[in-house]
Structure 1
Amino acid sequence: MTRAFLTAAFCLAALPVAAQSADDAVKARQGFFTMISTEMGTLSDMARGNTEYDEAAAVAAAQNLMALTGYDLPKLFVDGSSADDIDGTDALPAIWDDKDDFAQKYAALASATEGMDQAVAGGQENLGPALQAVGGTCRDCHQSYRAD
């Protein structure tokens, strides 16, 4: 149910992507990353013991991450929407210099989430390895393409 809702929400939100402004693209990207952060936070809190492990919640967060990373995020990196062009974004111009590498790094994130719902089931001890795999792909992309 949650995956279907997320997919529908993204489809509706992405309809005007081809004609949207750079400001709209930045807002859409930021919304996307907020959702990624929310789901990662749910899993991280459980992994650290800040929140009691709840298998159903962990699986749901992992499924949401899997659904989110199925979205074609690179298309939201439209010309004129880098940190050099617009205040309020951390997207480095390097993204536009090497769009193929950026897309590959995003594809690695999607790959890292494959089967994550099964990986986080069964106990708190399963969260760390799954989070490390996903977090590593986030770090790889941020090092090259995000201003801190």
Structure 2
Amino acid sequence: MRILAATAIAAFTFLPLAATADDAIKDAIEARHGFYKMLAMNMGTLAGMAKGEVLYDEASASRAAANIEALTHYDLPSLFIEGSASGQAEDSAAKPDIWTNMDDFKAKFAGLVEAASGASEAVKGGQDKVGPVVGKLGAACKACHDSYREKS
């Protein structure tokens, strides 16, 4: 009887910890999705201008690039917590390789930070200025996706 009671107490004691860990994983994935959605929206503005599908507007281009610059000041790798990989957590496209190659993953994010640096100024002066910025940003995104994102 004591063993059963001790087991029940232990189970109920650790249950909130499990819920908290699950909540942390869900929150981290949701935050990652938000980060990438904001990145995609701003990249879409720039890519549309670079392709000529959206009329070039210097203020809009600079604002979109500045938003990307601001996003890269967030510590995105900190949202890749243990247990949030594809196959471990719902709605995650993060390959498990992230956790075995965290230094490389962080280096690839640093590549995005570098590509975004100065982008808000670099897109000024005409539509022809946007394409090279989009190219640098896109290459940085692709470098990470190729290694660490499941194909959907």
2:9 aligns with none
1:109 aligns with 112
Unmatched tracts of structure 2, length 5 or more: 1-20
TM-score, normalised relative to structure 1: 0.86
1:86 aligns with 89
Distance in 2 between residues matched to 1:47 and 1:131, nearest whole Å: 7
2:36 partner amino acid: F
Number of aligned residues = 131
Q: In the alignment, does 2:98 pair up with 1:95?
A: yes
CA shift in 2, pair 1:84/1:38, >3 Å = same
Secondary structure of 2:142's aligned partner = helix
1:74 aligns with 77
Distance in 2 between residues matched to 1:69 and 1:46, nearest whole Å: 21
Max radius of gyration: which structure?
A: 2
Unmatched tracts of structure 1, length 5 or more: 1-17
Large movers: runs of 4+ above 4 Å:
none
Distance in 2 between residues matched to 1:62 and 1:106, nearest whole Å: 17
2:120 partner amino acid: D
1:9 aligns with none
Q: How far is the alpha carbon of 1:72 from its aligned partner?
A: 0.3
Alignment of 1:1-148 (within 5 A): 21-148=24-151
TM-score, normalised relative to structure 2: 0.83
Q: Which deviations, in whole Å up to 9, do the C-alpha atoms of 1:42-71 show, x marking residues without a partner?
A: 001111111100000000000000000110
Q: How far is the alpha carbon of 1:19 from its aligned partner?
A: 9.9
Distance in 2 between residues matched to 1:42 and 1:142, nearest whole Å: 20
Percent identity of the aligned residues?
A: 46
CA shift in 2, pair 1:60/1:131, >3 Å = same
Q: How far is the alpha carbon of 1:97 from its aligned partner?
A: 0.7
Q: How far is the alpha carbon of 1:139 from its aligned partner?
A: 0.4
